[in-house]
């Protein structure tokens, strides 16, 4: 079955959570998928090493946008350490998707990568 | 009913992959499927005649060389060129790069190269590259909102241009360019002219002797041939005059420590062991096309193209790229509110293979206002009207879901 019919995917795609740039944030990161042009940018406000607020902007297929939306929901309020542990597999489980081809997995991987880069760049700034 | 309509069932049976149950292949602009005769011919060559071409004295080395050069003859005949004007490459992209590096020796700082916004990246980036190397100016001719070449702009830009390169048929908009007329205009201004025939040679009669072009390029894999074999047609006088940009074995007559003499054309542009099995496979593909008849293919695809436009082009919320008539049998489109990849993923679920994204023509799609790219259905003579019906049904379902 195509991911198209997963309720969760369509729900997050049509009603994205945490969409948009928050008024204030401590770190941001954006990237795109060269093969398909999906792009995701993430903004995070951090307090005491916890995600206080997270927002995303982006443009792409239903799978990439739903993954980004769901991911922001999953890490909202989490410690940075926990947020760094999230994987494509977690998002797929949550979306109810068992398997994806090598091209489509990139759609799920993009928001995960962007989240991690945003956090890592925050941590390295703190440490320097 | 034409020949193809009458024999469509038999024709489809010539293509092993088309017997996959429930499989509708609408991605022939990316690459065509291959008939048994091509696969069997290549298999036979590897099993019975394999030896490196040229210079072998033993029997099969001579036989394979003869077969290789016969394939050049077959392919040259297909576009009405002479054998010595056919340089084998890997594909259209390599042909254009090779032509660009060949022309580099004829260009000097400040010279102008003109291409158009209609182009595949492969007829844009090689020119951009040599422009950078040699300090040349590269200009792009505009297109109209229907993706036709803006002829006023074309006239203006070809004035004093040293190289003019454009496509015969657009792989995104389906535009069929009047190459005969436009090439002549460019030639009259004294430019070297290159035509990208990747989407033309599979589908229509091309006669280079009737075109004012210096180079005409195409890929074997889009016209029933194997991957890894392409053609750079070049006018004989010009090929003879130009220095080979790449050197090595096979392309020289004599090599001494302090000098060498290049081989004759076309071999001086084919360094190293060529893809001889590929070119023999392509020649077999050409024979197959000739058996069906390129005119029959053109006529049948014209009907497919019109049917596609009438039945898919008018779906609610769908916007397509390109002209309303006189177009190739392909349709690149967006559906309001659905990302092109999602359209393709939905169609995949229905067994329909299409392509989505930029189709290697991002500047064109952006110009036409397709900011996320498009989904493209592209047909060949083995496709049917009923496959277009199935595409329409699937797209209508999708429009109702979203
Ligand atoms: C118009 C056009 N030009 C060039 C190419 C590049 O062909 P190839 O990838 O075989 O080099 C294509 C194929 O995608 C094409 O459609």
pLDDT tens per residue across span B357-367: 888 888 899 89
Q: Is B357 on the interface with A (CB under 8 A)?
A: yes
Q: Please give the distance, rounded to the nearest whole angstrom, from the Cα atom of residue B122 to the centre of ligand 1.
A: 7
Q: What is the structure's pLDDT at A6?
A: 75
The enclosing domain of A112 has a CATH number of 3.90.1010.10
Give me B96's structure tokens: 């254009």
CB contact under 8 A, B342 and A1: no
Could you please report the per-residue DSSP string of chain A?
--GGG-HHHHHHHHS-SSBS--SS-SEEEEEE-TTT--EEEEEEEEETTEEEEEEEEEE--HHHHHHHHHHHHHHTT-BHHHHHT--HHHHHHHHT-----HHHHHHHHHHHHHHHHHHHHHHHHHH-
Q: What is the structure's pLDDT at A5?
A: 64
Domains of chain A: total: 1
B220: distance to nearest CA of chain A, Å? 24
Give me B282's structure tokens: 């392509």
CA-CA distance, A90 to A110, in Å (whole number)? Answer: 14
Q: Which of A100-104, B155-159, B223-227 bottoms out in mean pLDDT, i.e. has the lowest?
A: A100-104
Closest of B328, B311, B320 to residue B374, by C-alpha: B320
* pLDDT at A3 exceeding the cut of 70: no
Q: Which of A44-53, B8-17, B338-347 bottoms out in mean pLDDT, i.e. has the lowest?
A: B338-347
Ligand 1 lined by B120 (C-beta under 6 Å)? yes
Number of inter-chain CB pairs under 8 A, A vs B: 36
Give me B231's structure tokens: 């053609």
CA-CA distance, B53 to B282, in Å (whole number)? Answer: 17
Q: Please give the distance, rounded to the nearest whole angstrom, from the Cα atom of residue B86 to the centre of ligand 1.
A: 18
CA-CA distance, B210 to B180, in Å (whole number)? Answer: 8
Could you please report the per-residue DSSP string of B78-138?
HTT--GGGEEEESSHHHHHHHHHHHHHTT--TT-EEEEETT--GGGTHHHHHHHHHHT-EE
3-state secondary structure of B169: strand
Specify whether the CB–CB gap between B127 and B100 falls below 8 A. Answer: yes
3-state secondary structure of B239: helix
Q: Is A124 on the interface with B (CB under 8 A)?
A: no
| Over residues B129-145, mean pLDDT | 97
Diameter over CA atoms, chain B: 73
Q: Quick check: is B360 catalytic?
A: yes
- The mean predicted confidence, pLDDT, of chain B is 96
Return the residue matching tokens 């990237």. Answer: A31
Percent of chain A with pLDDT over 70: 95
Q: What is the structure's pLDDT at A1?
A: 45
Q: Which domain holds residue A20?
A: 3-126
Helix, strand and coil percent figures for chain B, each rounded to 5: 45, 20, 40
Identify the residue whose C-alpha is closest to ligand 1 atom 13.
B30
* pLDDT at A98 exceeding the cut of 90: no
pLDDT tens per residue across span A112-122: 999 999 999 99
* pLDDT at A71 exceeding the cut of 80: yes
pLDDT tens per residue across span B377-390: 999 999 999 999 99
Torsion angle in degrees (nearest 10) through CA of B9, B71, B299, B146:
120
Q: Which of A90-99, B214-223, B285-294 bottoms out in mean pLDDT, i.e. has the lowest?
A: A90-99
Q: Which of B51-55, B96-100, B383-387 bottoms out in mean pLDDT, i.e. has the lowest?
A: B51-55
Q: Please give the distance, rounded to the nearest whole angstrom, from the Cα atom of residue B218 to the centre of ligand 1.
A: 8
pLDDT tens per residue across span B226-263: 999 999 999 999 999 999 999 998 888 888 888 888 99
Catalytic residue among B18, B138, B252, B360: B360
CA-CA distance, B169 to B175, in Å (whole number)? Answer: 6
Task: Identify which has the larger pLDDT, A36 or A25.
Answer: A25
For β-strands A50-59 and A39-47, DSSP reports them as antiparallel
DSSP 8-state class, residue B255: E
For residue B325, report the phi and psi dihedrals to the nearest 5 degrees. -145, 175
Q: How confident is the model at residue A94 (pLDDT cuts 50, 70, 90)?
A: very high
Q: Which domains does chain B have, with CATH numbers?
A: 3-30+293-401 (3.90.1150.10), 39-290 (3.40.640.10)
Q: B356: which chain A residues are within 8 Å (Cβ-Cβ)?
A: 36
CA-CA distance, B354 to B391, in Å (whole number)? Answer: 10
What value of ipTM does the predicted structure carry?
0.73
């Amino acid at each position: 079955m195509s991911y198209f019919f997963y309720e969760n995917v369509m729900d997050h795609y049509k009603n994205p959570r945490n969409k948009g740039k928050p008024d204030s944030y401590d770190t941001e990161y954006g990237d795109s998928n060269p093969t398909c042009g999906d792009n995701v940018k993430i903004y995070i406000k951090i307090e005491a090493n916890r995600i206080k607020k997270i927002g995303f902007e982006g443009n792409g297929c239903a799978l990439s946008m739903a993954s980004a939306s769901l991911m922001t929901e999953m890490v909202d309020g989490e410690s940075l350490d926990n947020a760094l542990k999230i994987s494509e597999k977690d998002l797929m489980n949550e979306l109810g998707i068992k398997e994806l081809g090598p091209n489509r997995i990139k759609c799920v991987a993009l928001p995960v990568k962007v989240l991690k880069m945003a956090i890592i760049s925050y941590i390295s700034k703190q440490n320097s | 009913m034409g020949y193809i309509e009458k024999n469509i069932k038999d024709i489809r049976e010539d293509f092993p992959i088309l017997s996959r149950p429930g499989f509708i292949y609408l991605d022939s602009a990316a690459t065509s499927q291959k008939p048994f005769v091509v696969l069997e011919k290549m298999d036979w060559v590897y099993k019975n005649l394999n030896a490196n071409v040229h210079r072998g004295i033993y029997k099969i080395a001579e036989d394979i060389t003869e077969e290789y050069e016969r394939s050049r003859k077959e392919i040259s005949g297909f576009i009405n060129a002479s054998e010595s004007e056919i340089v084998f490459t890997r594909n259209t992209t390599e042909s254009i790069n090779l032509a660009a590096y060949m022309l580099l020796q004829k260009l000097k700082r400040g010279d102008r190269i003109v291409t158009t916004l209609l182009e595949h990246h492969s007829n844009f980036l090689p020119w951009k590259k040599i422009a950078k190397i040699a300090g040349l100016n590269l200009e792009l001719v505009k297109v109209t909102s229907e993706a036709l070449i803006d002829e006023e702009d074309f006239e203006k830009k070809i004035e004093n241009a040293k190289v003019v390169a454009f496509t015969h048929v657009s792989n995104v908009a389906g535009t069929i360019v009047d190459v005969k007329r436009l090439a002549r205009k460019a030639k009259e201004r004294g430019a070297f002219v290159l035509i990208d025939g990747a989407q033309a040679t599979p589908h229509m009669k091309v006669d280079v002797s009737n075109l004012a072009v210096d180079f005409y390029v195409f890929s074997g894999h889009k016209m029933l041939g194997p991957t890894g074999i392409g053609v750079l047609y070049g006018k004989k006088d010009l090929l003879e005059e130009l220095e080979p940009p790449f050197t090595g074995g096979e392309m020289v007559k004599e090599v001494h420590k302090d000098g060498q003499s290049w081989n004759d054309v076309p071999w001086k542009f084919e360094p190293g062991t060529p893809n001889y099995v590929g070119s023999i496979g392509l020649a077999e593909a050409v024979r197959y096309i000739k058996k069906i008849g390129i005119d029959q293919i053109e006529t049948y695809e014209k009907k497919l193209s019109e049917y596609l436009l009438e039945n898919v082009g008018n779906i609610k919320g769908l916007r397509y790229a390109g002209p309303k008539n006189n177009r190739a049998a392909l349709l690149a489109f967006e559906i309001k509110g659905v990302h092109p990849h999602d359209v393709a993923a939905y169609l995949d679920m229905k067994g329909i293979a299409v392509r989505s994204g930029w189709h290697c023509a991002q500047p064109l799609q952006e110009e036409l206002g397709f900011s996320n790219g498009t989904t493209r259905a592209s047909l060949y003579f083995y496709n049917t009207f009923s496959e277009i019906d199935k595409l329409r049904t699937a797209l209508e379902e999708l429009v109702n879901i979203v």
